[in-house]
Structure 1
Amino acid sequence: MVTMKLRTLLLLITLLALHGFVAAQEKRIYVTRDANGVVIFSDSPTPGAEEITLTVRPNLMDPVDTRMPDKKPAEPEPFKVSIIQPEEQGTVRDNTGSVYIEGRITPRFQRGFRVRLVFDGLAYGEPQNSAVFVLRDVDRGAHTIQLELLDQNGKLIAISPVTTFYLHRASVISPN
């Protein structure tokens, strides 16, 4: 007796669920506009309403590739040092003998790195953490400069090409 009641109850639940599913599938949506142009959605048809057909699609995402790339880490780009100012074979005109040197290091300058200036073949001052140098009381004539990039341990890791520039200082003997 209990099994019969249980079967009847299960059959009734199944039929109700099936009816709800079918009723949900048969729902229709209508759209109209009122006198002010406002869009109105409804589940019952009204004069002049258009039926909207909805497509049902499961709410699933496309599969995603979760494998790790087989790439090895890229080799770090080697450092390059160049002199921006003064230009190669350029003339610096300064009666005080001051020369401003600006270098560029690529890729980005790292903490702990130092730059050493080589002026006329000799190290000039102590290495510093900037690629900008100011020379004072430089004699007129031709000069060479070069920048060296040193790591935290003082090891040379990059060097710029030699740049030759000319310092022009007015003179009492030869003002040109």
Structure 2
Amino acid sequence: MRVSPINAACCVLLVALLGAASGAQATSIYRTTDAQGNVVFTDNPERGGEEVELNPLTVVPSGQRAPAPQSRPEASASPSSPSQAVSSPFMPYSTFRIAAPRNEETLQTGEAGNLQVELGIEPALREDHRVRLLVDGAVSQSAMHSDVFMLGNLERGERVLQAELLDASGEVRHRSAPVTLYVQRASVNLPQNPNNPN
């Protein structure tokens, strides 16, 4: 006996529907063949045929959800917080730091508190980006498109320098690691100091 693909598909659908409708009542399903050789499934035992055993159906009561299939947890990328955005390099720069002066360097008395600050930026600073310097956390001058800055008349003592990178909209996108600088200045208590006025 030959069963056409269409009839086979219909049969499978019929079995599924009958099984779903009668799962709770455990109704038997019978398979018969009509005069044209088509296989017919029915739940009417009076039509005769061979009883078909169906696999038990899983019934989920209404109001409850079936358990979701377990899947492997995917590695999720940690979102960058604003603090991370400031402390990690902002692309397209692989390097953004104060190259000179070096950390814990001393600015001698003869410099009178004047200092040239050089930045290490790789690759070169983009046209739409600006840089500004912080001295002890305060902005020392307006942002400029430059990697060399002049600081003047720094006060005596320990000073902390940092550079900030600003994008085209003026937002701070990166802050360099701090550099500590020790500034020596002339004092009226040291008349022999060459920086004291005569």
TM-score (norm 1): 0.52
Deviation of 1:168 after TM superposition, in Å, equals 1.3
Deviation of 1:78 after TM superposition, in Å, equals 4.4
Deviation of 1:79 after TM superposition, in Å, equals 4.3
Residue 173 in structure 1 maps to residue 189 in structure 2: yes
How many residues align structurally?
Answer: 101
Which residue identity is paired with 1:119? V
Question: 2:165 aligns to what SS in structure 1?
Answer: strand
* Matching of residues 57-68 of structure 1 within 5 Å: none
Taking the aligned partners of 2:128 and 2:92, their CA distance within structure 1 comes to: 18
* Matching of residues 71-90 of structure 1 within 5 Å: 77-90=92-105
Q: What's the CA shift string for 1:111-145, capped at 9, x where partnerless?
A: 11100111111111110000211111111111001
Question: 2:124 aligns to what SS in structure 1?
Answer: coil
Name which of 127, 130, 136 aligns with 2:143: 127
Q: Is the 8 A contact 2:162 2:176 kept in 1?
A: yes
Residue 154 in structure 1 maps to residue 132 in structure 2: no
Q: What's the CA shift string for 1:51-70, capped at 9, x where partnerless?
A: xxxxxxxxxxxxxxxxxxxx
Q: Is the 8 A contact 1:83 1:104 kept in 2?
A: yes
Taking the aligned partners of 1:94 and 1:131, their CA distance within structure 2 comes to: 25
Taking the aligned partners of 1:152 and 1:79, their CA distance within structure 2 comes to: 18
Unaligned runs of 5+ in 2: 1-90, 194-198
Which residue identity is paired with 2:130? R
Which residue identity is paired with 2:174? A
What is the RMSD computed on CA atoms of the aligned residues?
1.9
Match of 2:75 in 1: none
Question: 2:170 aligns to what SS in structure 1?
Answer: coil
Which residue identity is paired with 2:103? E
Task: Name the structure with the higher strand share.
Answer: 1
Percent sequence identity is: 33
Q: What's the CA shift string for 1:134-167, capped at 9, x where partnerless?
A: 1111111110010011111112222100110011
Q: Is the 8 A contact 2:93 2:121 kept in 1?
A: no
Name which of 124, 129, 142 aligns with 1:108: 124
Unaligned runs of 5+ in 1: 1-75
Q: Is the 8 A contact 1:80 1:158 kept in 2?
A: no
Which residue identity is paired with 2:102? E
Which residue identity is paired with 1:170? A
Taking the aligned partners of 2:187 and 2:101, their CA distance within structure 1 comes to: 22
Ranges of 4+ aligned residues in structure 1 off by more than 4 Å: 76-79
Taking the aligned partners of 2:97 and 2:109, their CA distance within structure 1 comes to: 23
TM-score (norm 2): 0.47
Match of 2:113 in 1: 97
Match of 2:84 in 1: none
Q: What's the CA shift string for 1:8-61, capped at 9, x where partnerless?
A: xxxxxxxxxxxxxxxxxxxxxxxxxxxxxxxxxxxxxxxxxxxxxxxxxxxxxx
Q: Is the 8 A contact 1:82 1:147 kept in 2?
A: yes
